[in-house]
Amino acid sequence: MAEIKQVLVPDIGDYKGVSVIEVMVKVGDTINEEDTLLTLETDKAAMDVPSPFAGVVKELHVEIGDKVSQGSLILVLESSDSPAAQPAAAPAAIATPVPAVQAAQPAAAPAPTLSVSSGGQAHASPAIRRFARELGVDIALVKGSGEKGRVTKDDVQLFIKTALAQPRGAAGGNGLQVLDMPVFDFAKFGAIETKPLSRIQKISGANLHRNWVTIPHVTQFDEADITDMEAFRKQLGAEYAKQNIKITPLAFMLKAVVAALQKFPKFNASLDAGGENLVLKQYFHIGVAVDTPDGLMVPVLRDVDKKGIVQLATELGEISARARDKKITASDIQGDCFTISSLGGIGGTAFTPIINAPEVAILGVSRSSMKPVYQDGVFVPRLMLPLSVSYDHRVIDGAAAARFTVYLAQVLSDIRRLAL
Ligand code: CAO
């Protein structure tokens, strides 16, 4: 026969006026014996108070923020237990929770009557920790929305929903679990202006992010002595200026890169979809990073191995102008084997370019400068070009990368090698 029973706060040791930080039940809920009713927090630990009976909650006498002590009325329950087993008039017997210590922390009560959590890194009650653990969620990764950043049941559920909603292969799917970026109110610190990212910035940003986090990058640096190359380039430049063709160092670099790709075919390759095979390409289509007002674009120059420096300089001028005029088509940006990102026209001594997947390497070029180079016992002024080759370490070893970069520098230092 059903019986009305009071549930009181059990023995919580010497603590008095302890805060109620979570209430897990409401009037009308049907609960089982051992279900957590509420969580209390002292200055040292959080404690769950489980129900001593099964039944239906008829009255709730506590809410979050209340201060309670041993014997405080929590709720009134219509119990389905037999009256003989649990006399309603005996509060001491009513509030006899079963121990369930969760953390390696001394229980707050002298008798092991409550489940206790030390708090750890995440601020969460033992019940929420248990809930998270049952679902395989690392509570330290869950962002708490409760008071003082406390993790609630809703937070754990939201964490799972978000994880399930992630596409396969996205950060979570790769086992990369990072903290959410905190939301800043910049206006609190001074005047601001908010501008939307361009479509190109959004697309290239997402690709760069994926490549940065999924490819193990290493960058190899070197310098090429381009004193002779530069003399020849200036001579050519003067000859072709009448035809409005601008011959920049980049045209030479395109040819030098192809020579290096031919000597080191692994750099002209991609991993297949399963990551089990290397696909070696026998064509030489080179992407060139172009800085446009709307963001970064990488149009592709095709069959660079079959073209001369003047033709490449002409195509480079045309395709970078089309990129800046937003006239690039889908086919202009497809089929690339390797990318060159040249910041030489702007400045800088070195940088670490991000690989343009599915390629496995990229060349970054910085601004050349005159440097004293020790040759045959004397320092001589030479024009040195900084090279930065980032490579996918799954495919390319460090020694191979060093050989590739040294060879590239050799070719640029003596462009007669391009004829070999
Ligand atoms: N060292 C010294 N001078 C260099 C140089 C180098 N490595 N590379 C180019 N220059 C000079 C050129 O000779 C030219 O000089 P003049 O004006 O005296 O003739 C000047 O710098 C400007 O060159 P440019 O930039 O117009 O031409 P380019 O062929 O070198 O580059 C392009 C073309 C499209 C690659 C370039 O304009 C560009 O957009 N670069 C930015 C690429 C980028 O953003 N990369 C970052 C990607 S990762 O975020």
How do residues 66-90 score in pLDDT, each as one tens digit?
999 999 999 999 987 544 334 333 2
Q: Kindly state if the Cβ of 324 falls inside 6 Å of ligand 1.
A: no
What is the token pair recorded at 204?
A: 């290239």
Average pLDDT over residues 163-170: 63
Is the confidence at residue 9, as pLDDT, over 60?
yes
pLDDT tens profile 234-246: 999 999 999 999 9
Is the confidence at residue 115, as pLDDT, over 60?
no
Average pLDDT over residues 282-304: 96
Residue 116 has a pLDDT of: 40
From ligand 1's centre to the CA of 402, what distance in Å? 25
Residue from 222, 232, 250 to probe ligand 1 pocket by mutation (most atoms less than 8 Å from CB): 250
Q: Kindly state if the Cβ of 210 falls inside 6 Å of ligand 1.
A: no
Q: Kindly state if the Cβ of 250 falls inside 6 Å of ligand 1.
A: yes
Counting atoms of ligand 1 from 1, which one is nearest the CA of 351? 48
From ligand 1's centre to the CA of 346, what distance in Å? 6
Counting atoms of ligand 1 from 1, which one is nearest the CA of 385? 7
Measured distance CA(391)–CA(396) in Å, rounded: 7
Residue from 211, 219, 248, 255 to probe ligand 1 pocket by mutation (most atoms less than 8 Å from CB): 248
Q: Kindly state if the Cβ of 291 falls inside 6 Å of ligand 1.
A: yes
| Residue 251 contacts residue 313 (beta carbons within 8 Å) | yes
Counting atoms of ligand 1 from 1, which one is nearest the CA of 367? 1
Higher pLDDT pick, 40 / 304: 304
Q: Which of 32-36, 117-121, 218-222, 357-361 has the lowest mean pLDDT?
A: 117-121
Q: Kindly state if the Cβ of 288 falls inside 6 Å of ligand 1.
A: yes
Average pLDDT over residues 98-116: 30
User: Whose Cα sits closest to atom 10 in ligand 1?
Assistant: 345
Q: Kindly state if the Cβ of 363 falls inside 6 Å of ligand 1.
A: no
Q: Kindly state if the Cβ of 343 falls inside 6 Å of ligand 1.
A: yes
Q: Kindly state if the Cβ of 367 falls inside 6 Å of ligand 1.
A: yes
Residue 164 has a pLDDT of: 78
pLDDT tens profile 297-349: 999 999 999 999 999 999 999 999 999 998 999 899 999 999 999 999 999 99
| Residue 364 contacts residue 287 (beta carbons within 8 Å) | no
- Under DSSP, is residue 191 helix (H, G, I), strand (E, B) or coil? coil
Measured distance CA(139)–CA(151) in Å, rounded: 8
pLDDT tens profile 380-416: 999 999 999 999 999 999 999 999 999 999 999 999 9
Query: Which residues are CB-neighbours of 20 under 8 A, at least 6 positions away?
Result: 38, 39, 40, 62, 63, 64, 65, 66, 67, 68
User: Whose Cα sits closest to atom 48 in ligand 1?
Assistant: 353
What is the token pair recorded at 122?
A: 């995440």
Counting atoms of ligand 1 from 1, which one is nearest the CA of 365? 7
Is the confidence at residue 169, as pLDDT, over 60?
no
Is the confidence at residue 8, as pLDDT, over 60?
yes
Active site residue 393: yes
User: Whose Cα sits closest to atom 20 in ligand 1?
Assistant: 345
Is the confidence at residue 271, as pLDDT, over 80?
yes
User: Whose Cα sits closest to atom 44 in ligand 1?
Assistant: 291
Average pLDDT over residues 8-31: 88
Closest CA to 402 of 389, 393, 415, 412: 389
Average pLDDT over residues 271-289: 95
Average pLDDT over residues 369-379: 97
Measured distance CA(351)–CA(387) in Å, rounded: 9
Percent of the chain scoring above 90 in pLDDT: 61
Average pLDDT over residues 249-273: 97
- Of the pLDDT bands very low, low, confident and very high (cuts 50, 70, 90), residue 65 is confident
Q: Kindly state if the Cβ of 342 falls inside 6 Å of ligand 1.
A: yes
Higher pLDDT pick, 47 / 109: 47
Residue 172 has a pLDDT of: 46
Average pLDDT over residues 282-305: 96
Higher pLDDT pick, 169 / 251: 251
pLDDT tens profile 123-136: 787 788 888 877 88
Percent of the chain scoring above 70 in pLDDT: 86
Spell out the long-range contacts of 366-369 with Cβ–Cβ below 8 A and sequence spacing 24 or more: 367/343, 368/226, 368/230, 368/249, 368/344
Counting atoms of ligand 1 from 1, which one is nearest the CA of 250? 29
Q: Which of 35-44, 96-105, 129-138 has the lowest mean pLDDT?
A: 96-105
Counting atoms of ligand 1 from 1, which one is nearest the CA of 386? 7
Residue 121 has a pLDDT of: 54
